[in-house]
Chains A and B, each alone.
Chain A
Amino acid sequence: MIEVNRLVKWHGVHEILRGIDLRVEKGEVATIIGPSGSGKSTLLRCLNGLETFQGGSVTIDGLRIEAAVRTSDRVSIRRQVCQRVGMVFQDFNLFPHRTVLENVLEGPVYVLGQNREQAEQQARRLLERVGLSSRIHAYPRQISGGQQQRVAIARALAMEPRVILFDEPTSALDPRMTAEVLAVMSDLANDGLTMVVVTHAMQFARRIAHMVHVMADGRLIESGPPSQIFEAPAEEATRHLLSEGLAA
């Protein structure tokens, strides 16, 4: 489903990603953990074209993004990729001038050109699934952070994506709201949705991930199923990270 080859990303003189290789299979829940500044979020944003990169390639659902493509091609590939890959942000990034329902309708109606009535039925189902059917006419600022993040998940789901990327989806939330959001994500994982999750929530990663990837200093230092990573980490950096994460 996702294949990353030798991905290199420079930001000015800083090499943010130093040759990443990563595979995510269909139906797999992959989590990426690592200390702040290790390049997790940048990697995630390269997957759907929000960031450009200088070396290597990303292939996602058969669409290949290479470092050396013309701008116009990259723009068109990015749009195709984004229509198949959903993204949930740390800061939710809901559209504040639109209601909950309108936020969810935005993609299907204005990007996919779906009939509004059908799209609205679908949106209402999705909002019910994330537990927000009672607030569909509220504006984002009128609901809590956890509710906003669940709307953001519904907004991503409305595009019927092959993959959803989660960029630290619970970092801006308190524990109770974190639990609400993680419950929705577990539900999606159980349904077989392909997910790539950058997170600091170790317990969550351990519980639902099929694969855990550990990043440090722009490299993928260790990958494996949660049992292996959490119980028998091979790398010192991983052990250090886990002890910090568990302590937190």
Chain B
Amino acid sequence: MEENPDASEADAASAVPSQPRIGRLLAAPPQLRVGRLLGAPSQPRIGRLLAAPSQPRIVRLLGAASSHPHTTSRGPRSGVLIRGVGQPEGRSRASWCFSWPPAFLAIGFCLLAADGLLADGLQRVRGAGKLVYGSDMEGGGPYAYPDPDSPRAVTGFEVELMERIGRELGVATEFSQGQWDKLLQILDSGRVDVVVNGYEWTENRARNYAATRPYYIFQFQLMVPRGSSVRSWSDLKRPRPDGGRWTVAVLVGSAADEYAEREGGSEVQVVRFDGATDAMLAVQNGQYDATLQDLPAARFYRERFPGLEVVGPPESEGYYVMYTRSEDTSLRDALDAALQRLIARGELQRLYEKYGIWTDPQHQLGDFTGPLQVVSGRPMIHGWELLRRYQDRLLDAAFVTVALSFGSMPLAMALGLLVAIGRLYGPTPLRVVLAGYVELIRGTPLMLQLFVLFYLLKLPPWVAGIGGLAINYSAYEAEIYRAGLQAIPSGQMEAAMALGMSRSLALRRVIIPQATRIVIPPVTNDFIALFKDTSVCSVITLVELTKQYSILANSTGGAIEFALAAAVLYMMMSVPLSWFSRWSERHLSGGGSKGGAVL
């Protein structure tokens, strides 16, 4: 333990190690608060506005504040790696194109200044006596996953690696669960000290965070349904026998995603899943041709998915590294030193062999003398330029959202109406069945319904998505329609009957048109809700607006730009619906020129 004038301060902060003092005062990590104030993910860009060379202290702070996952590298993991020690430079301080109200500036300034009171990273960790690392159990084995022998605990090669590193540093380690693609934002927020979860080294991340030396050299492994004609990645370069494109399932936003997109060319259609095992399940089901996985995952799950086989040699090469906040270089250096000792003693090899993931390339791990380096880089782009570059992706995703909504809502309304009529006018057994239907559908989450349609019934994603949304919302619409139908005075049905109408004609001509008018506001409300619920369809590989936002925000770092763009797109789609609702209420209320719209 080194002594240091700041040590007492670090001790004082030890009660809440992962949160700086200001965080305690404000009951939330400071950077997170900035994010909330801006109504956007917790990536404070405000710092940029404060950049002023005359204030060296602030400038140093800005490094912390502006750290976020700039991974423009959907592109190649280009040859910009140098093995050596040093700090990334060339962080862009381009002035920010949005201007925020001064109040926000002031708040941001205070929070950033408070950030500066943070003790040096390593001291902070030592003072707290524990190292908190961010990881996601949903990513699954062998990285970090619920321990089968003790399901409330977590295990995995990264968990065990961190335990060993903790011993090297003389601190305890604590696993902190977070959504995989949000881990770097969680790191920004100060709730964890380091991110360790199969995060590959990329130029953009290294530019904004302090990356450690590699702790694993990963490769991609192709998995196909047993007996498939595809025997290697190169087979996918040949045209598919039926003339279509090969479908390759990947974990969304992963290096394999990037690789498949880049290397797959025109013959390959990349299908993105939220979980590695979801992709394997869908391929085992025969829904897609192959899945490209990081080798550790492929090895770990080989036995869990007997319908899959591992084919071809491992592809490509990349590095798993840990990321700390860029100002925590002392922590990063300590982690590097600990890794070096584990590698030198052969402990790392023994650990990896235990998990069956030691491969030949791992012998190179010892060759690194420090973190990978960024030599140069394309300048970061921001604001309109960023949006312009990715506008096609955003518009495609908006189209998916629109298509899902407009495909499913009319079905949901029609189905809901039939259910409501059945419940009100049908024979008793039908009423009981329909009441059960409504309770079942309302009582279970949309996501599970989509899983059933997609993974169990093996419907294509679009069919499962539109069908799932339609079924889910039909239960809600049914109740709305039931209320609307019951609100029509009984004299209306009698008058229709007295004219000699059958019950169905009376419903069609008299009751339903009047009920429709009553239900327009709540149904429009549901339509707008459904618009946003389409985002759940990302679990069955449909990349709609929210998912696309998440992908772009993570891969480019343009969280605010894309959040605003996505919000504007959602508004552009939902506001006209509200207008339509108001217009149709007026139009149908009997004051207009024509009545009689049946649904």
The residues of A with any CB-CB pair to B shorter than 8 Å are 48-50, 75, 78-80, 82-83, 85-87, 89, 91, 93-99, 102, 106-107, 110-112, 139-141, 155-156, 159
If A79-B502, A110-B509, A111-B505 touch, whether A97 touches B588 (CB-CB below 8 Å) is: yes
Distance between Cα atoms of A83 and B590 in the complex (Å): 27
Tell whether, in the assembled complex, residue A139 and residue B492 are in contact, meaning their CB atoms are under 8 Å apart. no
Say whether B572 faces chain A, with CB atoms less than 8 Å apart.
no
A76 — nearest CB in chain B belongs to which residue?
Answer: B502
- Contact in complex: A91, B595 (CB < 8 Å): no
Minimum C-beta distance from B590 to chain A (A): 4
Interface membership of chain B positions 476-505, coded 1 if the CB is closer than 8 angstroms to chain A and 0 otherwise: 000000000000010110111111111101
With known contacts A96-B514, A97-B513, A139–B500 Cβ distance under 8 A: no
User: Known contacts A96-B514, A97-B595, A139-B590; is A111 also within 8 Å of B494 by CB?
Assistant: no
Contacts A75-B502, A78-B497, A93-B492 known; list 18 others, CB within 8 Å. Answer: A50-B497, A75-B503, A79-B500, A79-B501, A82-B501, A86-B498, A91-B491, A93-B494, A93-B495, A94-B495, A95-B495, A95-B496, A95-B509, A95-B510, A98-B596, A107-B500, A111-B501, A156-B498
Nearest to B502 among chain A residues (CB) is A79
B510 to chain A, nearest CB (A): 6
B207 CB to closest chain A CB, in angstroms?
64
Neighbour of B500 across the interface among A82, A94, A96, CB < 8 A: A82
- Bound-state CA distance A111–B501 (Å) is 6
Q: Is B21 an interface residue (CB 8 A)?
A: no
CB-defined A-B contacts under 8 Å, sample of 30: A50-B497, A75-B502, A75-B503, A79-B502, A80-B500, A82-B498, A86-B498, A87-B495, A93-B489, A93-B491, A93-B492, A95-B509, A96-B514, A96-B590, A97-B517, A97-B595, A98-B595, A98-B596, A102-B595, A102-B596, A107-B499, A107-B500, A107-B501, A110-B501, A110-B509, A111-B500, A111-B501, A111-B505, A139-B595, A141-B590
Going nearest first, the 7 A-B pairs with the smallest beta carbon separation are A93-B495, A83-B500, A82-B500, A87-B498, A139-B590, A93-B491, A107-B499
CA distance in complex: A13, B366 (Å): 94
B56 within 8 A of A: no
Pick the contact of A89: B491, B503, B505 (CB < 8 A): B491
| Interchain CB contact (< 8 A) of A159 among B489, B500, B505 | B500
Contacts of A96 in B (CB 8 A): 514, 590
Tell me the bound Cα distance from A94 to B510 in angstroms.
10
* Chain B residues at the A interface, C-beta cutoff of 8 Å: 489, 491-492, 494-503, 505, 509-510, 513-514, 517, 588, 590-591, 595-596
Chain B nearest CB, measured from A195 CB (Å): 15
Instruction: List chain B residues, Cβ under 8 A from A86.
Output: 498
Complex contacts, A93 vs chain B, CB 8 Å: 489, 491-492, 494-495
Known A-B contacts A79-B500, A82-B499; the reply to A97 vs B596 at CB < 8 A is yes
Determine the distance from Cα of A80 to Cα of B596 in the docked complex, in whole angstroms: 26
- Residues in B with CB closer than 8 Å to A141 are 590
| Chain A interface SS verdict (over half) | mixed
Report the minimal beta-carbon distance from A156 to chain B, rounded to whole angstroms.
8
**Minimum CB distance partner of A82 in chain B:** B500
Q: How far is the CA of A49 from the CA of B499 in the complex (A)?
A: 12
Can you name the residue of chain B whose Cβ is closest to the Cβ of A86? B498
Q: Considering the chains assembled together, what is the distance between the CA atoms of A114 and B557 in angstroms? A: 68
State A25–B395 Cα separation when bound (angstroms).
75
Contact B498 A50 (CB under 8 A): yes
Question: In the docked arrangement, what's the CA distance between A87 and B495, Å?
Answer: 8
Residue among A79, A89, A102, A140 facing the most chain B CB atoms (10 A cut-off): A79
Task: Say how far B198's CB is from chain A's closest CB, in angstroms.
Answer: 61
- Residues of chain A with a CB closer than 8 A to B494's CB: 50, 89, 93
Question: How far is B497's CA from A95's CA once the two chains are assembled, in angstroms?
Answer: 12
Closest chain B residue to A137 by CB distance?
B593
**Cβ of B517: which chain A residues have Cβ within 8 Å of it?**
97
Which of A78, A83, A106, A139 is close to B509, meaning CB atoms less than 8 Å apart? A106
A51 closest partner in B (C-beta): B494
The one of B492, B498, B505 in contact with A95, judged by C-beta atoms closer than 8 angstroms, is: B492
Q: Which residues in B have their C-beta under 8 angstroms from that of A159?
A: 499-500
Q: Which residues of A contact B496 (CB under 8 A)?
A: 95
- Shortest beta-carbon distance, B267 to chain A, in Å? 57
Separation of A79 and B492 alpha carbons in the complex (Å): 16
Q: Are A89 and B497 in contact (CB under 8 A)?
A: no
Residues of A within 8 A of B497 (CB): 49-50, 78, 82
Q: Which residues of A contact B588 (CB under 8 A)?
A: 97
Q: In the docked arrangement, what's the CA distance between A229 and B513, Å?
A: 47
Write out the residue numbers on chain A whose beta carbons fall within 8 Å of the beta carbon of B505: 110-111
Report how far A70 CA is from B315 CA in the complex, Å. 76
A99–B595 CB distance below 8 A: yes
B591 nearest CB neighbor, chain A only: A139
C-alpha spacing A91/B595, complex, angstroms:
21
B28 to chain A minimum Cβ distance, whole angstroms, is 53
Closest chain-B Cβ to A169's Cβ sits at a distance in Å of 13
Minimal beta-carbon separation of A98 from chain B (angstroms): 5
In the bound assembly, the distance between CA atoms of A118 and B509 in angstroms comes to: 20
Q: A45: nearest residue on chain B (CB-CB)?
A: B494
A136 CA / B354 CA spacing, docked (Å): 88
Give, as a whole number of angstroms, the nearest-CB distance from B595 to chain A.
Answer: 4
* Shortest beta-carbon distance from B338 to chain A in Å: 76
- Residues in A with CB closer than 8 Å to B510 are 95, 106
Minimum distance in angstroms from B55 CB to a CB of chain A: 69
- Establish whether residues B495 and A97, one from each chain, have CB atoms under 8 Å apart when the complex forms: no
User: In whole angstroms, how far apart are the Cα atoms of A112 and B499 in the complex?
Assistant: 10
Most chain A CB inside 10 Å of its own CB: which residue of B489, B491, B495, B501: B495
- Which residues of A sit under 8 angstroms from B591, Cβ to Cβ? 139
- Please give me the residue from chain B that is nearest to A78 by CB atom: B497
Q: How far is the CB of A165 from chain B (nearest CB, A)?
A: 8
Shortest B271–chain A CB gap in Å is 48
Q: How far is the CB of A63 from chain B (nearest CB, A)?
A: 12
Chain A residues near B498: list those with CB within 8 A: 48, 50, 82, 85-87, 89, 156
Residues of A with C-beta under 8 A to B502:
75, 79
Measured CB to CB, the nearest residue on chain B to A103 is B495
Say whether A97 contacts B499, CB under 8 Å: no
Q: What residues of chain B lie closer than 8 Å to A107, measured between beta carbons?
A: 499-501
CA distance A75 to B588 in the complex (A): 32
Which residues of chain B are near A78, meaning CB under 8 Å?
Answer: 497
Collect the chain A residues with CB atoms within 8 Å of residue B500's CB.
Answer: 79-80, 82-83, 107, 111-112, 159
Distance, CA A155 to CA B499, complexed state (A): 9
Cα–Cα, bound, A85→B498 (Å): 8
Neighbouring B residues of A155 by C-beta, 8 Å: 499
Closest A residue by C-beta to B492:
A93
Of all chain A residues, the one with the shortest Cβ separation from B499 is A107
Select from chain A the residue with minimum beta-carbon distance to B490.
A93
Give A139 to B591 CA distance when docked, in angstroms.
7
**A79 cross-chain contacts in B, Cβ below 8 A:** 500-502
Q: Which residues of A contact B590 (CB under 8 A)?
A: 96-97, 139-141
